């Protein structure tokens, strides 16, 4: 809690036992779109052995303990971006997305007062448009009550997907606007051979693809055509603008009703600049805990994803600013958060 308000986190990912992801290995090794072992149906692999219910519960409980230590009350959880594996063959993508969404739902069911679900979509950049994602999106909303969806601007890591301003995305935008479902933009994997020297090089893709998404959405017609659509771009938008706000290189339109950014920037200089540049009204609390922010700050002895004390330490933020970031802005973007 922050004073009398629940701390609401828009950026978090499902926690599962390591053995749970062997389903992806089975899919790719057999090149067969098997049914999800969690939601049933024909076509199970005889070699697929899931972790036990207790192991799934232990993974989810450890996640709860982690956010308790950081003062976080409720999270929207979605897929782990580096495990989206959008480069697998297109006929396997729906099976993998369905299984991941089943695991997200399972964690939400185990701790319904702590987690709300956001779905993984079976994005195929070579499909005629985004219509192929709608069945899984609707299943997650109708059957599981998911409140948001993740999208990757570059799912196969080869920069083949149409830009987020293009009409390729419009079927998905239309459905999300109809459902009042915010879109969470997060980079995924990269197959750029230059990145191979960098460990965990998907992080580079997070920066480039998320920043490009902010530019394409800002310059393009999406928010004219879908004025009620809400989009959150993770990691403060990936990168910051180097121009002043009135410069013609930047989108000269008001995106304050549509385009939002999370607070998932662990370097204090970067986070301060991001909040000042984006504006408090467009920042939603999100820290990806547990995730990539586990490195300990030497000056505090606490992990870098422990951001509530950081926001308290920013003396240039008012109390109302902090309350907006930690609670009111997330509810504005995703009203379901205010009902937990």
Structure tokens at 322: 């902090």
The residue among 99, 84, 118, 87 whose CA lies nearest residue 50 is 99
What is the SS3 assignment for 152?
coil
| Rounded distance between C-alpha atoms, residue 110 and residue 96, angstroms | 21
- Number of other CB atoms surrounding residue 286 within 10 Å: 28
For residue 104, give Cα distances in angstroms to 38, 171, 220: 11, 24, 32
Tell me the backbone φ, ψ of residue 248, rounded to 5 degrees.
-70, -15
State if pTM tops 0.85.
yes
The tens-digit pLDDT sequence of the chain (340 residues) is: 998 999 999 999 999 998 999 999 999 999 999 999 888 765 666 667 789 999 999 999 999 999 999 999 999 999 999 999 999 999 999 999 999 999 999 999 999 999 999 999 999 999 999 999 999 999 999 999 999 999 999 999 999 999 999 999 999 999 999 999 999 999 999 999 999 999 999 999 999 999 999 999 999 999 999 999 999 999 999 999 999 999 999 999 999 999 999 999 999 999 999 999 999 999 999 999 999 999 999 999 999 999 999 999 999 999 999 999 999 999 999 999 999 9
Per-domain residue ranges for the chain? 8-19+53-339
Domain 8-19+53-339: what homologous superfamily?
A: Metal-dependent hydrolases (3.20.20.140)
Q: Note whether 80 and 118 are within 8 A (CB).
A: no
Q: Please name the residue ranges forming H helices in the chain.
A: 22-30, 53-68, 93-110, 134-144, 170-179, 202-219, 222-225, 268-278, 308-313, 319-323, 329-333
Tell me the backbone φ, ψ of residue 24, rounded to 5 degrees.
-65, -40
- Number of other CB atoms surrounding residue 306 within 10 Å: 20
């Amino acid at each position: 809690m922050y004073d009398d308000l629940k701390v609401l986190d828009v950026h978090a990912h499902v926690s599962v036992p390591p053995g749970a992801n062997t389903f992806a290995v089975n899919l790719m090794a057999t090149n067969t779109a098997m049914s999800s072992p969690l939601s049933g149906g024909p076509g199970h692999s005889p070699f697929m052995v899931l972790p036990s219910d207790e192991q799934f519960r232990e993974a989810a409980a450890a996640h709860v303990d982690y956010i308790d230590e950081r003062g976080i009350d409720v999270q929207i959880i979605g897929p782990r971006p580096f495990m989206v594996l959008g480069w697998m063959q297109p006929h396997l993508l729906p099976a993998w997305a369905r299984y991941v969404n089943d695991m997200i739902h399972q964690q939400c069911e185990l701790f319904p007062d702590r987690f709300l679900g956001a779905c993984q979509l079976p994005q195929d950049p070579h499909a005629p448009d985004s219509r192929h994602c709608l069945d899984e999106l609707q299943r997650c909303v109708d059957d599981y009550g998911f409140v948001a969806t993740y999208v990757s601007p570059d799912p196969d890591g080869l920069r083949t997907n149409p830009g987020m301003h293009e009409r390729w995305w419009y079927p998905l935008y239309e459905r999300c606007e109809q459902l009042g479902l915010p879109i969470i933009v997060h980079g995924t994997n990269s197959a750029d051979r230059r990145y191979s020297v960098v460990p965990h090089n998907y992080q580079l893709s997070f920066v480039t693809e998320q920043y490009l998404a902010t530019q394409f959405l800002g310059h393009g017609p999406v928010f004219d055509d879908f004025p009620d659509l809400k989009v959150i771009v993770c990691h403060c938008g990936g990168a910051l603008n180097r121009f002043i706000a009135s410069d013609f290189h930047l989108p000269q339109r008001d995106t304050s009703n549509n385009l939002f950014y999370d607070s998932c920037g662990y370097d204090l200089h970067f986070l301060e600049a991001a909040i000042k540049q984006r504006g408090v009204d467009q920042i939603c609390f999100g820290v990806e805990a547990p995730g990539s922010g586990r490195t300990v700050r030497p000056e505090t002895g606490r992990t870098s994803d422990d951001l509530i004390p950081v926001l308290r330490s920013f003396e240039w933020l008012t109390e109302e600013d902090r309350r907006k970031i930690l609670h009111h802005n997330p509810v504005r973007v995703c009203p379901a958060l205010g009902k937990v």
